[in-house]
Amino acid sequence: MTDFLVSLSSEPAAAHWGENAPFSLNAQGAVVHIDDEQDALRKIAVTARAVDNMNIKKVKLDGQWSFDQQWQFAMSFPRPRNAGDIIWADTEDKERLEQYFTALRFTRKLVNDTPEDLSPENLATRAAEWIQELGGDKVSVEMITGEALKEAGWTGIYNVGRGSERPPVFLELDYNPTGNPDAPVDAALVGKGITFDSGGYSLKSSEGMLDMKCDMGGAATVTGALGLAMMQGLTKRVKLLLCCAENLVSGHAYKLGDVLTYKNGVTVEVVNTDAEGRLVLADGLIRATELNAPLIIDAATLTGAAMVALGGDYHGVFSMDDAARDKMLSSAQAENEKFWPLPLEAFHKNRCPSSFADTANSRPQKGGGAGGASNAAGFLAHFVNPQGKGWVHLDLAAAYQSSGTSEMPVGATAKGIRSIARMLHDY
C-alpha cells in the first residue's frame, strides 16, 4: 500500500474546491494551499484534521516543509485512539521532530488515559519510569505515599487525597547529569497531578466533571517538558515534583471549614474543596523553595477563570519576577507556543482572606469571584520566597480540548512542553 502524501503548494486550489480552500485532494493524497504565509499553519492544521477524519493510517509529508509546518501537522493529526503514523519530510529536522513528537505522545497519553487507569500512584510511577528510561543512572526517585505524607508534613497533598481509597503521592525525581550529589539544583518543576477532580464536597456538576481526568495536565506537561529537555541534551540539575491525588467525596474526605497548617507555618482555611489544585501545589512549591532552585516553574490546570480570560488557545503566565516572566514569554515565542501574561502583584496574596487562618484557599463565590486566576496565583505566592524571585506559575488553559475542532483533535494538547524545555536550557 502506497503512503498517503501531503504536500505544500503556493498555488491556490482549483476553483471547484471552493474559494480559498485550505487543501485539495489528488491521486497521491492531499495538497495544502498556503498562498498566504500568515495563514499557513492554520491551513496545515485544518488539512491534518481532515486527513485524520478520512481514517488515513499513515501519512508522509512530501516535499519542502519547515520545522514549524511539520510540527503543526503533528499537533493536529493524531487522534487519542488509533492515531495514524507520520513520516517526516526529508529535511534535517527529522531527529528534532522525533524528540518533540515522543514527548508530545507521552504527555497526551498520560492526560487522555481514563481516571480508573491513572491513579495517583500510577501517574507518579509512569512519570518516573519514562524519565528513568531517558536518563538512566542520572535519575533518582523518591515517592512519599498515603499516611507517610501526613508524617512528613505534606499537608495539602495528604488532605486533598485522603478522601480516596487510592492514596495520594508526592513524587520527587532528581535529574542530575553532573554526577555530583552536592551539585546545586538549577531548576524545579512542580506539577498539579489531580488524577480525577469531583470537586469534593464542593461537588461539580456532571458536565463539569466529565473532563476532570485532565486535571493532572500540569504534572504531565512538566514531565513531558523535562523529558524533551533531556533528549535535547540538558546538562542542568532539575528536580521534578509531582503532587498527585484524587479529589473525591467520602467519610474520609477533607471538608469546608477545615484549617490546614503547612510546613512553612502558613495556615489555610478551606472554603472550597474544588479549589484543591492550589492546596497540593503549595507543598510542591515549599519543597522547591527548600531546594534553593533559582528557577521554579509550576504548571496546573488550575482555574476556570484563566480559560474565561484566554479561551483554549493560550496558557496564562504569572510571576512577581519581571525577568522570569519575560524569559518564559520569550521562550514561548521562540517555540511558537501561545503564552500570555496575566496580573500577579503582592496584594493578590491577600485576596482570599480568612477569619480563621492566614488565608483561605479561595473566595466563597462561584469560580472564586472576579480575578480568580490572579487570586489563585496570589495564594500560591504564600509558598515561595517573599519576592517571588525566579518563580513562574503557569495556568494551563490550553492543555485540553473537551471537543475536537477543525484544527485540533479532542483531548490533551501537550501545548507548553516546548516552551518549558527551552526555559530549562536558557534560564
Over the stretch 231-252, which tens digit does the pLDDT of each residue have? 999 999 999 999 999 999 999 9
- Which of 92, 125, 153 terminates a domain? The answer is 92
379 is a domain residue: yes
User: Are 302 and 397 in a shared domain?
Assistant: yes
Residue 366 in domain: yes
What is the spatial distance between Cα 377 and Cα 245, in angstroms, rounded to a whole number? 20
CATH number for the domain harbouring residue 114? 3.40.630.10
pLDDT at 11: 93
Residues 107/273/244/345 CA torsion (nearest 10 deg): 70
Arithmetic mean of pLDDT, 122-130:
98
> Where does a domain end: 71, 92, 113?
92
Which residue segment(s) compose the domain that 78 sits in?
4-92
CA 162 distance to own-chain centroid: 24
Same domain, 30 and 138: no
> Which of 32-36, 193-197, 262-266, 399-403 is predicted with the least confidence, judged by mean pLDDT?
32-36
Instruction: State the sign of the Cα–Cα–Cα–Cα dihedral 374, 378, 384, 385.
Output: positive
Instruction: Look at residue 100 and tell me if it is in a domain.
Output: no
Domain annotation covers residue 271: yes
112 and 88, same structural domain? Answer: no
CA distances from 364 to 247, 272, 273 (A): 19, 7, 11
182 and 79 in one domain?
Answer: no
Is residue 231 a part of any domain in this protein?
A: yes
Residue 224: inside a domain: yes
- Examine the fold and report which residue of 92, 113, 143 is the final residue of a domain before the chain moves on: 92
Distance from C-alpha of 212 to C-alpha of 202, rounded to nearest angstrom: 14
309-343: per-residue pLDDT in tens? 999 999 999 999 999 999 999 999 999 999 999 99
Does 36 share its domain with 116? Answer: no
List residues with catalytic annotation: 204, 278
Residue 339 within any structural domain of the chain:
yes
In this structure, what is the dihedral angle of CA atoms 348, 393, 141, 199, given to the nearest 10 degrees?
70
What pTM value is reported for the model? 0.97
Number of folded domains that form the chain: 2
Verify that 264 and 396 share a domain, yes or no.
Answer: yes
How far apart are alpha carbons 117 and 381 in whole angstroms? 33
State how beta strands 359-360 and 267-269 pair: parallel
Residues 12 and 138 occupy one common structural domain: no
| CA 355 from centroid of its chain's CA atoms | 34
Same domain (yes/no): 76, 211: no
Quick: pLDDT tens for 258-292. Answer: 999 999 999 999 999 999 999 999 999 999 999 99
